Amino acid sequence: MADNKVGKRYAEAIYSVGESNNNLKEIYEALNLLMEMYLKDKEFKNIINHPLISLEEKKDFLSKIYFSEKEKVKDIIFYLLEKGRIIDIKEIVAEYLKIYYLKNKILDVEATFAQDITEKQRERLIKNLEKRTNKKINLKVNIDKSIIGGGILKIGDKIIDGTIKTQLKTLIKQD
């Protein structure tokens, strides 16, 4: 829970900087890259966390990775390094994304079906969800061969199970 508070506090500050500099997307991409490297690249993580490598050497190392980024974006990465908060990068990125989605009225929806849906079905589903939620929909479709028919929608914390299996169980309980 404490990590989430740290992540939220840093994400809010970073988002505010990004909003004032009109570079929210660039910042997100840089933070996401940092998170991916920190979580997946053991050598990268060792360099960032190593107590005998100086802060300046770590900054030089990160400068080579972020050579094409604008100074304001690099400053954010360096700030996280200086404050020892790269360890919290996963929470920071998650909170940053939450703020972005909230301010831009975007909703993540995960849909699970027995087979892949057509582009037309996808567009229709997005359009219906946007109408019901008054938000832009970011749809991720999963395939689960164990579903006979219908589908499952996960919208935030809410799950709508419209599978045939669930509908049959409901009918059996009613008898």
What is the domain partition of the chain in residue ranges? Answer: 2-102, 106-174
Each residue of 86-120: pLDDT tens digit?
Answer: 999 999 999 999 999 999 899 899 999 989 999 99
Confidence (pTM): 0.75
pLDDT above 90: residue 12: yes
Contact yes or no for 165/112 (Cβ under 8 A): no
Residue 175 confidence (pLDDT): 61
Q: How confident is the model at residue 35 (pLDDT cuts 50, 70, 90)?
A: very high
The reply to whether CATH 3.30.1360.120 applies to domain 2-102 is no
- Name the token pair of 105: 């009225």
- List C-alpha distances in Å: 49 to 6, 9, 32, 44, 133: 18, 22, 18, 9, 43
Look at 148 and 80; give whichever has higher pLDDT.
80
